[in-house]
Amino acid sequence: MRLDLRMKEKLKNEIESGVSINKISECLNVPKSTVYYYYKKIKGRLYNTPDIVASMSEQEGEIVGIFAGDGSQYFEPKRYRYEVNVHFGIKNKWYAEYVKGLFDEFFQKSFRLQEEEQTKLRLRTESKNIFEYFSRYLEFDRRVKHATVQLKSIPMPTEFKIGFLRGLFDTDGCIRVDGKGKRIRIFLTTTSSSLAKQVHELLDEIGIKNKVYVSPRKEEKTVYIVNVWKESTNSFINQVRPRKAVQQGLVAKPGIASPWLGEDCGFESRPVH
């Protein structure tokens, strides 16, 4: 919103007098975002935002993987509000609390964990720095993140990739036992074809045999499934070390099939050639 010189002078006087942004907006009939813009020019930021140092560590990879799987963002221009969320089912409260601790420590900011609709949990914060942070590593359209998210084409160390796989499989992955405990099934489902391809390549890099399948759905987004081969399930659990497996004491020793009891997440599918 453009202001004339007279209005700018009024705005400046109110800010220098210590009047709140809400009060200035109400009295002068000026949008809060405009008041905040001039407030920063005159007095600087309202608060200090955390400096986020990119180290490409395994921890950082896990955080990015979690957001890629179940994260969302929202920007409200009128209130100049940058919101970051991670979503969970209520039965995974222990995991939501783990992620809160992980995010609180890394970003040096306390996230809020709240229950919604009695079946869901949402971890959230408001921060422009954290909002912009995920764009260092991920590309996505916020309106349809689930179908567009993918890693950026930048060099990443193996430890970051391992962490990314862990966070992604702990959110969008499924591990279950078939055939009376005789076979462990590990797979990831996503509506992003680019992400499915990248996960396939990351697993290949660490020697995990896998294949991508596609499950077309009428009137819905196509689902891509990255399936870990039977002979690589133990290697996957040992290398990636998903938190859900560790929490239940199900990390396998070489050559020993350790069941990971999970949800029935099966899809009718066909391989991608």
Mean pLDDT value of segment 104-121: 92
Residues 191 and 147 sit within 8 Å (Cβ to Cβ): yes
Sign of CA dihedral 74, 79, 81, 85: negative
**Fold classified for 158-271:** Endonuclease I-creI (3.10.28)
For residue range 127-186, what is the model confidence (pLDDT) as tens digits?
989 999 999 999 999 999 999 999 999 999 999 999 999 999 999 998 876 666 567 789
The answer on pLDDT for 62 being more than 90 is yes
CB atoms inside a 10 Å sphere around CB 259: 17
Q: Tokens for 85?
A: 């969320």
The secondary structure element, H or E, covering residue 108 is: none
> How far apart are the C-alpha atoms of 9 and 236, rounded to whole Å?
64
Report the pLDDT averaged over residues 190-213.
Answer: 97
- Indicate the helix (H) or strand (E) that contains 141: none
Question: Is residue 14 classed as helix, strand or coil in its secondary structure?
Answer: helix
Q: What is the pTM of this model?
A: 0.76
Domain 58-151 in CATH 3.40.50.720? The answer is: no
- Of the candidates 137, 134, 158, 154, the one whose C-alpha atom is nearest the C-alpha of residue 240 is 158
Q: pLDDT at position 37, please?
A: 75
Between CA 251 and CA 241 the distance in angstroms is 7
Q: What is the dihedral of CA 196, 197, 203, 208, to 10 degrees?
A: 90
**Do the first three CATH levels of 58-151 and 158-271 match, i.e. the same topology?**
yes
Residue-range domain boundaries for the chain: 5-43, 58-151, 158-271
Length of the chain: 273
Measure the CA–CA gap between 151 and 196, rounded to whole angstroms.
11
What are the beta bridge partners of residue 224?
A: 190, 214
Give dist(CA 105, CA 250) in Å, integer. 26
Contact 110, 117 (CB under 8 A): no
Q: Looking at residue 229, what DSSP letter applies?
A: P
Task: Give pLDDT, residue 258.
Answer: 39
- Per-residue model confidence as pLDDT tens digits over 234-261: 899 989 998 876 665 556 555 444 333 3
Indicate the burial class of 91 (C-beta count within 10 angstroms; 0-12, 13-18, 19 or more).
exposed
Mean predicted lDDT score pLDDT of the chain: 83
Neighbour count for residue 59 (Cβ, 10 Å)? 17
